[in-house]
Amino acid sequence: MIYPELSYTLNGILFSVHNEIGQYAREKQYSDAIEVKLKEKSLPYKRELRVSDSGNIIDFVIDNKVLLELKAKRMLVKEDFNQTQRYLQETQLRLGLLVNFSAKISIH
């Protein structure tokens, strides 16, 4: 596992935010809550980081090691994974977390 201690801490933050806010919020609400928790844990981060001249914006880079891309949509699609992969390549980071907070289950 890459960066096991940092990964464990980040997963704890993500689950905590999901438990507090639930699954029907907007991406910005999740981002704001994550930012508060990162500050509480004294984890260095950059938010809404512009990637080179591509015009792409990464949601978070944590401790200059982990790329965190957030989504709040019904389901992730291949383009979401491709986007995260491009960001990893452009930044030369080794670990990217693609997190979807609003996966909705439909029961008929």
For the question of whether the overall pTM of this predicted structure is more than 0.75, the answer is yes
Decide if pLDDT at 5 tops 60.
yes
Residue 40's SS3 state is helix
Query: What pLDDT, in 10s, does the model give residues 56-92?
Result: 899 999 999 999 999 999 889 999 999 999 999 999 9
Pick from 39, 27, 32: nearest CA to 80: 27
CA distance 65 to 62: 6
Ordered domains of the chain (ranges, CATH): 4-100 (3.40.960)
